[in-house]
Chains A and B, each alone.
Chain A
Amino acid sequence: DGGITQSPKYLFRKEGQNVTLSCEQNLNHDAMYWYRQDPGQGLRLIYYSQIVNDFQKGDIAEGYSVSREKKESFPLTVTSAQKNPTAFYLCASSKQVNTGELFFGEGSRLTVL
């Protein structure tokens, strides 16, 4: 079955550590996205990628980095520069960057201790 796989589902991090969240899709979608969700807030866009080897900052990119070396993969690194990283992180994809619905992975819940 086609879909998006995120790992890990739950992650605990000490302050000052970088962590990388994995996102893999087998939907053959060109566009991939990373969102952050905090309680009581809508999803906020961190980074997006229209195509391999290209990615753009979203609304809240500070303290995050991404790469898109393969069409299937769009990992997100939460760096120590991110001041409030505890959140629910959602990876999504769409056929192209501005059309069609978004398909989401199951999410990664990051807690900073």
Chain B
Amino acid sequence: RKEVEQDPGPFNVPEGATVAFNCTYSNSASQSFFWYRQDCRKEPKLLMSVYSSGNEDGRFTAQLNRASQYISLLIRDSKLSDSATYLCVVNPGTYKYIFGTGTRLKVLA
């Protein structure tokens, strides 16, 4: 089993739709969780950290479910500019940040 798993997609959604991605992780001792956004041939950029109580930043909501060992990202009112690959990143409290392979989102006009 991979340490961090994501559905590669692509998720093709119309503008204005709500879309959600999940990411599962295998190490129950994991302590820090992040969602990054990566545009084609560019570097990953932090979208949001994921806190135990869940957190929201504008149209984006992140949740953590420790019991089932997954994190989620919800995007409301999708924009064309949201089209990108979304990377799940988990840190078990060591030097090692573990990256998922990413979920590709295409928002269609």
- Enumerate chain A interface residues (CB-CB to B < 8 A): 31, 33, 35, 40-43, 45, 48, 50, 56, 58, 88, 90, 97-107, 109
Contacts and interface: CB of A to CB of B under 8 A. Distances in A.
Nearest to A91: B43
Interface in B65-109: 87, 89, 91, 93-102
Given A40-B101, A42-B4, A42-B101, A98 B43 contact: no
Name which of B49, B94, B97, B99 has the most chain A CB atoms within 10 A of its CB. Answer: B97
A41 B6 CA distance: 11
Interface of B: 4, 8, 32, 34, 41-46, 49, 87, 89, 91, 93-102
A41 B99 CA distance: 9
Given A98-B91, A98-B94, A98-B95, A42 B102 contact: yes
Contacts of B44: 43, 90, 102, 104
Contacts of A90: 43-44
A59 to B, nearest CB: 8
Nearest 10 Cβ contacts at the A-B interface: A42-B99, A104-B43, A43-B99, A42-B101, A97-B95, A101-B46, A107-B43, A106-B43, A48-B95, A98-B94
A103 B44 CA distance: 8
Given A42-B4, A50-B95, A88-B41, 9 more contacts: A40-B8, A40-B101, A42-B98, A42-B99, A42-B102, A43-B44, A58-B96, A98-B95, A104-B44
A40 B103 CA distance: 10
B42 A106 contact: yes
